[in-house]
């Protein structure tokens, strides 16, 4: 009787671990990513690639108010007319992390968008993943 109970507990634990592992692999694209790629493209990406794309869409940049500093920067609105300081889509603006940070102004608002370099993005994503792991 005890052996059968232990076997059932073992089976339940294995099932839970399996479900958690499957859930960890099922990374859904955020809206910005879903809108930037076709369904076929999205299906071709693995969980790690979707995580990277989600990070680029949501966390690969910062917006700062820097009136006067933005004069010589390219206007982000030329790449994405719908961009605002609270609504930026790197994919729509066709800005992907490169070897260096990239700087753009948002019209004449005084706001500057700093798109991080690929190495900075990878560091930030690694930190985010470590912080999201169960302790």
Q: Tens digit of pLDDT for each residue in 24-59?
A: 457 999 999 999 999 999 999 999 999 999 999 999
Give the per-residue pLDDT at 135: 61
pLDDT reported for residue 26: 78
Predicted local confidence at residue 105, as pLDDT: 96
Question: Which residue stretches of the chain have pLDDT < 50?
Answer: 3-24
Instruction: Quote the mean pLDDT of the chain.
Output: 84
Determine the pLDDT at residue 132.
Answer: 80
% of the chain exceeding 90 in pLDDT? 71
For 34, phi then psi, to 5°, come to -60, -35
Q: Are strands 74-75 and 102-105 parallel, antiparallel or unpaired?
A: parallel
């Amino acid at each position: 009787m005890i052996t059968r109970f232990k076997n059932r507990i073992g089976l339940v634990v294995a099932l839970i671990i399996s479900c958690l592992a499957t859930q960890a692999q099922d990374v859904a694209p955020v809206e910005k990513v879903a809108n930037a790629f076709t369904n076929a493209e999205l299906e071709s990406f693995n969980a790690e690639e979707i995580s990277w794309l989600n990070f680029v869409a949501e966390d690969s940049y910062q917006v700062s108010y820097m009136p006067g500093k933005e004069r010589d920067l390219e206007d982000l609105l030329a790449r994405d007319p719908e961009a605002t300081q609270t609504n930026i889509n790197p994919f729509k603006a066709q800005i992907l992390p490169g070897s260096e940070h990239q700087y753009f102004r948002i019209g004449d608002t005084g706001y500057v968008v700093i798109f991080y370099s690929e190495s900075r993005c990878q560091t930030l994503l690694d930190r985010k993943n470590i912080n999201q792991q169960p302790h």
